Amino acid sequence: MIDKKESIAILGAGLAGLSCACRLSELGYENITILEKEPEAGGLAVSIHYKGHVSDLGPHRIHSEIPRVRNFLNDCAGNLIVTRQRNSRMMLDGGMLPYPPRFFTTVGHFGAAKMAGFLGSYIWTRLAHLISPPHEETFETVMEMAFGRALCRAIIKPYTEKTWKMKTDELSPEVAGARVSAGGLSALARRLFLREKRGMETSLNVFLYTRGGIGKLAGVLEEKLAKHGVHFLFNAEVTGLEAGRERAWRICYRREGGEIFREADLCFSTIPITDLMGYLLKWSPDERMAQSLSSLGFLAMVLVFVRVKQPHISHDTWLYFPDSELIFNRGYEAKNFDESMGPEDESIICLEITARTGDSLWRLPDEYFQKRAVDDLTCTGIVSKNEILDTHVRRITHAYPIYHRQYRRALENVYSYLMRRPALITLGRQGLFHHNNMDHSIYEGLLAAEYAVEKEDACAAWYRDAGKFRKLRIVD
């Protein structure tokens, strides 16, 4: 429990950090400073502005099964929220398959014989796994059990390996729960014929969005916090964290070319947990923790925004590309989320390319990704080359935590280490190293503030309970 006069520092102005600050402010805390390395708030939930277009960093949508998050969003940005229809397709074998799938389109795409083969493989795979269970569960064994070996190898395995840049048998089975929500072939089959029950959906047909781009949400939260006296330090990149002289933590950050130090009684961190631990281990070395840290890493992304001379590229909000010959995994067209986010006679599509920071792909120059993305996009037939006006590249170093098979043990070691560091709470996708949606980050921000204020042993309780966030349901 902290006194209302004590100083609070929040590292990172993403949705987790902003919502944490909102709740602290509501509870009467005034001495709050948010440090953000970028020139604006939002983290990954920001929008770029490019030659008259607005586009998010990939497809963002608002949906939550958590009542208090819905209330929070309505209170903060209710006047900006609009309802949108979801239209998604996946390019397979040169054709486009609607997603969520429907019976006639699915049979029409694969053919009755291939569909029967998928069903037979599903039955055979389940029997085989029941008779001789695998020695160790991996993403691959879970997905084969859920969908059958044939369907898994035809679609799921190649798309997953293309996206994660690793073999499916090296991925933790938790990836299946975190990023694949279809529920298996039986659920997929039911969805071909029946409407899913409210609250039990595996994918969305409609979703909510903020007019003008998802960055508007962070904008209204920043404005609200500024009115309540929260201090923002933008272009402030954290470079160190150690025990303070007068207060709990001494934060080092780089701003305007110089190193600056700031002390705080309580620190909330939404920066990547690997970076945070690196700062702590530099201050207080621990070989065992350093070994655990080496098992945790993040997937990076190169985003190529392609501006096209036509009103709409497609009518899809999401486009998926499992084909390994295409460099991008997924595409998102901003004007299908909000028509006002671009000129009437132009559109822009964001193409996602995954990589690992430091690998040979990541080290390639922006010009390579621009040319390759244009060439591959025109190969799909979605646009022609003479319609493409230009491209823009944005890189994200920490997009998704990578769940290796042994990641959980390493993460629990890190949590145990942080339990012994009072007045420090990590949260958010990067801070807790777990897959989540925007609403989950907001939820964690609200809860983290309440833990710090209401619990005597707040930090230890937070890390003991952190596993429950992995159980939050992700709806595709």
Above 50 in pLDDT, residue 409?
A: yes
Angle, helices 103-110/185-193, rounded to nearest 10 degrees: 120
pLDDT band with cut points at 50, 70 and 90 for residue 184: very low
Pick the most confident of 4-8, 15-19, 186-190.
15-19
0.85 exceeded by pTM: yes
Share of the chain above pLDDT 70, in %: 92
Instruction: Mark 164-186 as b/e (b = at least 16 C-beta within 10 Å).
Output: beeebebbbbbbbbbbbebbbbe
Structure confidence by residue, pLDDT tens digits, 451-463: 999 888 899 999 9
Rounded distance between C-alpha atoms, residue 328 and residue 129, angstroms? 33
Section 33-37 average pLDDT: 98
Above 50 in pLDDT, residue 190?
A: no
Beta bridge partners of 238: 253
The beta strand positions in 22-135, using DSSP E, are: 32-35, 47-50, 53-56, 81-85, 88-92, 95-99
CA angle 53, 58, 62 (to 5 degrees): 100
Q: Parallel, antiparallel, or unpaired for β 298-308 and 347-355?
A: antiparallel
Domains of the chain in sequence order: 8-43+64-83+213-294+404-471 (3.50.50.60), 101-202 (1.10.3110)
Rounded distance between C-alpha atoms, residue 68 and residue 74, angstroms? 10
Residue 252, phi then psi, degrees to nearest 5? -105, 130
Rounded distance between C-alpha atoms, residue 177 and residue 429, angstroms? 16
- Position 103 scores a pLDDT of 62
- Position 192 scores a pLDDT of 44
Rounded distance between C-alpha atoms, residue 378 and residue 328, angstroms? 12
Rounded distance between C-alpha atoms, residue 173 and residue 141, angstroms? 8
DSSP one-letter string for 360-409 = TTTTS-HHHHHHHHHHHHHHHTSS-GGGEEEEEEEEEEEEEE--BTTHHH
Ranking 13-27, 104-118, 195-209, 407-421 by mean pLDDT, the lowest is 195-209
Confirm if 262 and 33 have CB atoms less than 8 A apart. yes
Instruction: Mark 247-262 as b/e (b = at least 16 C-beta within 10 Å).
Output: bbbbbebeeeeeeeeb
Q: How many helices (H) and strands (E) does the chain have?
A: 17, 19
Rounded distance between C-alpha atoms, residue 134 and residue 143, angstroms? 13
Rounded distance between C-alpha atoms, residue 433 and residue 289, angstroms? 15
Confirm if 266 and 452 have CB atoms less than 8 A apart. yes
Q: Parallel, antiparallel, or unpaired for β 424-426 and 388-401?
A: unpaired
Rounded distance between C-alpha atoms, residue 72 and residue 263, angstroms? 30
Angle, helices 407-419/458-465, rounded to nearest 10 degrees: 170
Which own/partner pairs from 116-123 qualify as long-range (CB within 8 Å, at least 24 positions apart)? 117/150, 118/148, 118/150, 118/151, 118/154, 118/185, 119/148, 119/185, 120/150, 121/148, 121/149, 121/150, 121/151, 122/147, 122/148, 122/150, 122/151, 122/185, 123/148
Above 50 in pLDDT, residue 49?
A: yes
Section 360-366 average pLDDT: 97
- Position 471 scores a pLDDT of 73
Structure confidence by residue, pLDDT tens digits, 263-272: 999 999 999 9
DSSP 303: E
* Amino acid, res. 72: F
Confirm if 35 and 253 have CB atoms less than 8 A apart. yes
- Position 335 scores a pLDDT of 95
Section 5-16 average pLDDT: 96
DSSP 247: S
3-class secondary-structure state, position 186: helix
Structure confidence by residue, pLDDT tens digits, 80-113: 999 998 888 989 888 888 876 666 677 777 888 8
Residue ranges in 27-92 assigned as alpha helix (H): 67-77
Above 80 in pLDDT, residue 282?
A: yes
Section 375-388 average pLDDT: 95
- Position 95 scores a pLDDT of 84
- Position 259 scores a pLDDT of 95
CA 56 from centre of chain: 13
3-class secondary-structure state, position 41: coil
Section 144-152 average pLDDT: 85
